[in-house]
Amino acid sequence: MKKITQIAFVFAVVLFLVSCKNTKQKIQEHVSTYNNSSTIKGHGITSTAAKAFLNDNKIEIRIETNLEENDSNKTAYKESFPELLKEMIKNNQISTELIDEGVKFDVYFLAYNNAILAQQLVDKDELAVLENGASTDNKETAKL
Q: What are phi and psi of 96, to 5 degrees?
A: -70, -30
pTM: 0.75
List Cα–Cα distances, 110 to 59, 75, 78, 90, in angstroms: 16, 13, 11, 22
Report how far residue 19's alpha carbon sits from residue 26's, in angstroms, rounded to the nearest whole number.
12
Summarised one tens digit per residue, pLDDT across range 70-106 is: 999 889 888 888 998 999 999 999 999 999 999 999 9
Q: Mean pLDDT across the stretch 46-64?
A: 93
pLDDT at 16: 66
List Cα–Cα distances, 132 to 43, 108, 125, in angstroms: 26, 22, 11
Q: Mean pLDDT across the stretch 124-131?
A: 89
Summarised one tens digit per residue, pLDDT across range 21-51 is: 788 989 999 999 999 987 777 778 899 999 9
